[in-house]
A and B are shown apart, each in its own frame.
Chain A
Amino acid sequence: MAATFDIAMQQTKLEQDGRAPVVVVEDVHKTFGIHKVLDGINLSVKRGETMAVLGRSGTGKSVLLHLIIGLDTPDSGSICIGGRNIAGLPLDRMGEIRKKMGFLFQHAALYDSLTVAGNVEFPLAHHRKEMSKSERRDRVKQLLAEVGMEGSSEKMPSDISGGMQKRVGLARALALEPEILLLDEPTAGLDPISSSEIDDLILKLQHERQMASIVVTHDLHSAKTIANRLALLDKGNVVIEGTFEDLQESDIEFVREFLKQS
């Protein structure tokens, strides 16, 4: 009992120091039908750190994010968020952990029946009951201003561009002030200028909020810009993990080929 308490205290102290990883993925396996997507993957991300997960299409990058936020469950292995294994947690208890996480979907996944402001307000209306309507409105304004969307609050998601939808999705992901931010292809399908704007925005938010972020991307340039560490996935596992320089210096054939083609 005392030992458990000591470990918990140590974990909390490390977390406060920012030295303990807040997301730990250990030996995770996931299979869909006969297709093995993740094959014993290991990853960890600390507070204030941004990890970019790279790899070819279908290597399980998005699946990994879905597992981390609990939208799917691993076949085996463990995923710990803030020191707590989330595998098999019931929906409502998982909800408590999800409040500390923000998720930007690949296609933004905005609620098409709500306005831009309504989308950002949605998590606040459900989880910040103590906030008055005007406080919520001010917070939405502030969030939209942070992502440069203050002028579009009354527009419907279908009336704004893909890049703008991603910005709104990001504002919604930040609404509950998450400690962990998961971004699924934040720059996919965007022109180079919009991509660069989104990268700058992520960097700015990272600098201001010191979240632990995992960014799934195909865009090596974007990964290099926003991430402290990169992990390259192939056949359901991490081929190499390190800084961009580590990847450049690697003599693994797949890494060299990936960098050459990107």
Chain B
Amino acid sequence: MSDREIIAGFHSPTSVRRAETTPSFIDLAMKLVSEFFEWFGSLSIFCWKVLCAAVTPPYEWRELIRQLDEVGSKSFPLIALAGAAIGVVISMEARYSLTRFGAKSMFPATLVYSVIQVMGPIMTGLIVSGRVGAGMGAELASMKVSEQIDAIEASAINPYRLLAATRILACILMLPLLTLAADASGLLTGWFAQTLVEPLSFHQFIESGFHGATFSAFLPQTFKTAVYGLIIGTIACFQGMRTRGGAEGVGRAATNSVVIASLFVILADVVLVKFILVVFP
């Protein structure tokens, strides 16, 4: 079986024959387990091909810039808006809770830490996996079913370099920047919401919020989103480029890209938070 068939998840003769008979529970469980490992195997081969293509010339700078715009500039309004909403919600919730416990003076620090350390990164990851993951998955899937990816390959151009490596790299580079945008937007609206209730100068808010904070408290949390970018880009490109089966396949690829990428982003968050707490105590 060729690598292309492996990546496309081509069914082996055994699995086809198995499907023809009435499956028992054990058969179904075995099939599920084997499909799970097949999926990971295909993903590994795909990642290896993309890595080999990405580190060897010629580099697709123009396509990379186009993808940076697609992932970054075009996601910016949505991310800024979502960040703004999160800022307002945290501001209202934090003020209420802190007032109850007589810790109102902790408000700026609570808002800053909540937005930058927790909500900003994960929210950006999930929104980008929805917007960009679905878009990339559907675009590449549509190119796959209409043989455009084969046409690229037939034109002696490596599709893993042109289509996958550029998109994945754009996601890796743009996620931390979008996270900073979400953080800034959340802090601004959080402060604004607070000022409407109880006037507080922005200078005072920032000074109090970041008092005693070190770079290591915020930078790892922001740059961990590069890993989310890697996950979103890889899953979306992988799902898109292995699509089969016309319009239905395109829809399935878009849905799977979002669902799998979001799930992996959440799982990665758990691992990365623990890792950051250990490395940057």
Contact = CB atoms under 8 A, between A and B. Distances in A.
Contact of A109 (B2, B16, B151): B151
Interface string B49-88: 1000100101000000000000000000000000000000
Contact of B156 (A96, A109, A110): A96
A105 B11 contact: no
Given A34-B13, A98-B155, A91 B148 contact: no
Interface string A24-66: 0000000111100000000000000000000000000000001
A176 B157 CA distance: 12
A217 to B, nearest CB: 18
A189 B162 CA distance: 31
Contacts of B17: 34
Contacts of B38: none
Interface residues of A, number: 32
B99 interface: no
Contacts of A70: 153
Contacts, number: 76
Contacts of A176: 155-156
Interface string A66-82: 10011111000000000
A141 interface: no
A109 B13 contact: no
Interface string A164-179: 0000000010001000
A110 B158 CA distance: 17
A107 to B, nearest CB: 7
B10 interface: yes
B147 interface: yes
A111 interface: yes
A186 to B, nearest CB: 15
A34 B150 contact: no
Contacts of A73: 2, 4
Interface stretch (A121-129, A148-156, A219-227): A121-129
Interface in B121-154: 143, 146-148, 150-154
Interface of B: 2, 4-5, 10-13, 16-17, 49, 53, 56, 58, 143, 146-148, 150-158, 160
9 contacts: A66-B150, A69-B154, A71-B4, A91-B53, A101-B154, A103-B154, A111-B151, A126-B155, A126-B156
